[in-house]
Amino acid sequence: MPATLLETPEAVVCSSLSARFAAVRAQTEHLCDPLATEDYVVQAMEDVSPTKWHLAHTTWFWETFVLAEYAEGYELHDARYPFLFNSYYVQAGERHCRAQRGYLSRPTVQEVFAYRHAVTEAMQDFLAGFDERQRPDVADVIEIGLHHEQQHQELMLTDLKYVFSVNPLRPVYRSRPPEESADPGPLAWVEQAPGVTPIGFEAPEAETTRERFHFDNEAPRHRVYLEPFALADRLVTAGEMMYFVEDGGYARPEFWLSEGWATAQEEGWTCPFYWEPPGVNSGTWEHFTLAGMRPIDPHEPVTHVSFYEADAFARWADLSGFASGARLASEAEWEAASRTVWNGTTADGTAPGSYVDRGRLHPAPAPEAGWVAGGDGAPAAPALRQMFGEVWQWTESAYRPFPGYRAAPGALGEYNGKFMSNKMVLRGGSVATPQSHIRPTYRNFFPLDATWQFTGIRLAKSL
Ligand code: AVJ
Ligand code: FE
């Protein structure tokens, strides 16, 4: 693959709905460039869907929520497909069992691509005659469709990583040259002032649906009072996680939540997911990556940890004196602090980070520590690094509705709201997230034991 293949195409960022639609659809298919036909079909565990299913499900989404609703005279590409490719929308009809998505050799990969292309074309015909100012309601659904497909681009990568990892051949999705890394230095604390601060998305009076876009779970904007706190200036590294491992972290219940301890025992966890101790694959610690098995670079952020491990690491950091007072940040703390980073160091006004766009597909060590001048004569403070686009950062906040939240009526209302139990919020995006997909208010959510996403740790503490 050429180096630029994963970059967010210009069209995704700044153009008309139809140009962005074409770019997002093409991007999903680009991600399949390294695959052989057999790779598209495997479902190695219930949470991991086959690539073929992601390709078809994102297509079903356009067909169901845009074409069938608004394109006059539209006929389904295949009337049997909604049953196969509806994920979880109970109000949209019966559906195939999630755990058995990998049983389906038909429709073939070729037929799924034909389905994609037919629906892409029908959507393009629809968009050619579509005026977003006359139907802002429909434009909003199209916008959800774009962001939905980007979410599945991320899931395609994490799911492929899992599928490849269970194969003793340890296939490479995309090779990455070895690199020298520098020690990011000890953690520094970035102090944040206490006070009442608005949290959540507020739609600007914008012309374009793109600028207005946010998922429903990011709103309503509401006020939160924050006690004085500090955020670690960078992510926890793999080397620091190694201290935890070597200090018996996975064998010492004093660091763990009861449910976390039970899960770790049942699953036999002794180190982060994808890590392999010396002697398994080589003489050193290695881990599985989208570039195959690699030595673990102690300077890079630890990833593929569950909420339980992130929480246990924080308690170890506190009790061992590695970082006294350490805990995870609340999502409000994370969001408030992230605002200082968001506006403006990159050309498109977002924050620096790998994202999927750099094509690393693996989190990068922190850049050299920086300092930012304090306002109003306050002393200079360490700058926050790695807030966006490396690993999703577990927060200590349960995924629950913001005050005043109400899910939309109808099937699309099932998108986020009905999952607001037994999950924790993650912030910041990862190396599998398109840069154009993320915002400071973006709330991702996964169960507390999930490890197959690019999930990592940022420490916080109360002052
Ligand atoms: C927000 C990543 C938890 O994986 O179900 C995809 C994204 N929502 N299709 C998920 C999503 C609808 C969602 N996560
Ligand atoms: Fe989906």
ipTM for the predicted complex? 0.99
Query: pLDDT digits over 11-60, tens only?
Result: 665 579 999 999 999 999 999 999 999 999 999 999 999 999 999 999 99
Pairing of strands 455-456, 459-462: unpaired
The domain made up of 10-165 has a fold known as Four Helix Bundle (Hemerythrin (Met), subunit A) (1.20.120)
Q: So what's the pLDDT on residue 4?
A: 45
User: Which range in 97-106, 178-187, 364-373 is most confidently predicted, on average pLDDT?
Assistant: 97-106
Residue 54 Cβ < 6 Å to ligand 1:
no
Q: Which CATH architecture has domain 189-237+308-462?
A: Alpha-Beta Complex (3.90)
Instruction: Kindly give, in sequence order, each residue whose CB lies less than 8 Å from that of residue 73, ignoring residues fewer than 6 positions away.
Output: none
Compute the distance from residue 22 Cα to the ligand 1 centre, in Å. Answer: 21
Q: Could you count the other beta carbons within 10 Å of the beta carbon of residue 247?
A: 14
Which of 61, 86, 151, 443 gets mutated to test ligand 1 (max ligand atoms within 8 A of its CB)? 151
Taking the CB of residue 148, how many other CB atoms lie within 10 A of it?
19
Can you give the residue ranges of every domain in the chain? 10-165, 189-237+308-462
Q: What is the pLDDT of residue 349?
A: 66
Is the pLDDT confidence value at 67 over 50?
Answer: yes
Whole-number pLDDT of residue 59:
99
Arithmetic mean of pLDDT, 311-320: 99
Beta-carbon contacts of 75 under 8 Å, excluding residues fewer than 6 positions away, are: none
Distance 245 CA to ligand 1 centre (A): 31
pLDDT of residue 345 exceeding 70: no
What are the backbone angles phi and psi of residue 163, rounded to the nearest 5°?
-60, -45
Residues, beta carbon < 5 Å, ion ligand 2: 87
Q: pLDDT tens digits for 224-239? A: 999 999 999 999 999 9
**258-314 pLDDT per residue, tens:** 999 999 999 999 999 999 999 887 899 999 999 999 999 999 999 999 999 999 999
10-165 and 189-237+308-462, same CATH topology: no
Residue bearing the CA closest to ligand 1, atom 3: 445
The tens digit of pLDDT for each residue in 376-391 reads 667 778 899 999 999 9
By most ligand atoms within 8 Å of CB, the mutation choice from 46, 155, 455 for ligand 1 is: 155
pLDDT at 393 over 50: yes
* 437 Cβ inside 6 Å of ligand 1: no
Does residue 347 surpass a pLDDT of 80? no
User: What are 371's strand-pairing partners?
Assistant: 382
Q: What pLDDT sits at residue 10?
A: 63
CA 311–ligand 2 middle distance (angstroms): 29
Q: Give Cβ neighbours of residue 348 (< 8 Å, ≥ 6 apart).
A: 13, 435, 436
Determine phi and psi for 100, rounding to 5 degrees. Answer: -110, 20
Greatest alpha-carbon span in the chain: 67
Tens of pLDDT, residue by residue over 143-185, are: 999 999 999 999 999 999 999 999 999 999 999 999 999 999 9
Query: Which amino acid type is present at position 310?
Result: A
Do residues 294 and 367 touch, judged by C-beta distance below 8 A? Answer: no
C-alpha separations of 119 from 125, 126, 337 in Å: 10, 10, 42
Q: Is the CB of 338 under 6 A from ligand 1?
A: no
101 SS3 class: helix
Helix (H, G, I), strand (E, B) or coil at 123: helix
Question: Does residue 2 register a pLDDT over 50?
Answer: no
Looking at every residue in the chain, the average pLDDT score rounds to 94
Q: Count H helices, E strands: the chain?
A: 12, 15
What average pLDDT score do residues 101-111 get? 98
